[in-house]
A = this chain, B = another copy of it.
Amino acid sequence: MGPEIKVLLQKISRLPGLGPRSARRIVLHLLKHKNELFEPLMMCFSDVFNNVKVCPRCHNVDTFIDCCSICADRSRSRDIICIVENVADLWAIERTACFRGQYHVLNGLLSSVEGRGPEALFLDQLLERCQENDAKEIIIALSVTVEGQMTDHYIKNFFSDKNMKVSSLAHGIPMGGELDYLDEGTLSTAFFARN
């Protein structure tokens, strides 16, 4: 096969969740449907590539003109802001359709290993935004990992004297979770947080 195809296969096989076999399947599928699939896909790629930006308000990564579709959506409440680690988590919450406020995307957690200190969370900018919009509530929706919980704690502390209501997502037994299969940490957390 030609060098161009080899390089493309290599690049695709390194994408998350893919390997050499799936890369071959995808490339052959695209080559087979060159006009119906390959060309439109390339156009979509360049549309996204050329238009994607980081929203100056919430740091969401999106294609937009002034600010991302969530910040621009007038039907969404500006009183309540949900803090998420990254865009994947934002999309996950959007899929639940249970939150109609705004977001603040950290694009990374506090991490001494990666050298991300508190300034990387842009909490001053968030506070300013809260004051501008008279927002009164913050929901922290971070992963339950050491770094996630450390960041959660730091944010709570930061807002403690700012006259805001700050809450975190509940920890406990997931839907469909069977007690017998849960780890001890989750089970004991659920026990102490019983309501």
Contact = CB atoms under 8 A, between A and B. Distances in A.
Copies in the complex: 2
Contacts of A115: none
A11 to B, nearest CB: 5
B52 A88 contact: no
A25 B86 CA distance: 12
The 5 closest A-B pairs by CB, nearest first: A2-B63, A8-B44, A4-B47, A4-B63, A16-B25
A111 interface: no
**Centre residue among A12, A17, A28 by max chain B CB count within 10 A:** A17
A179 interface: no
Nearest to A63: B2
A5 B25 CA distance: 23
A31 interface: yes
Interface of A: 1-5, 7-8, 11-12, 15-18, 22, 24-32, 34, 37-42, 44-49, 51-52, 61-64, 68-69, 86-88, 91, 94
Given A17-B25, A62-B2, A42 B44 contact: no
A41 B4 contact: no
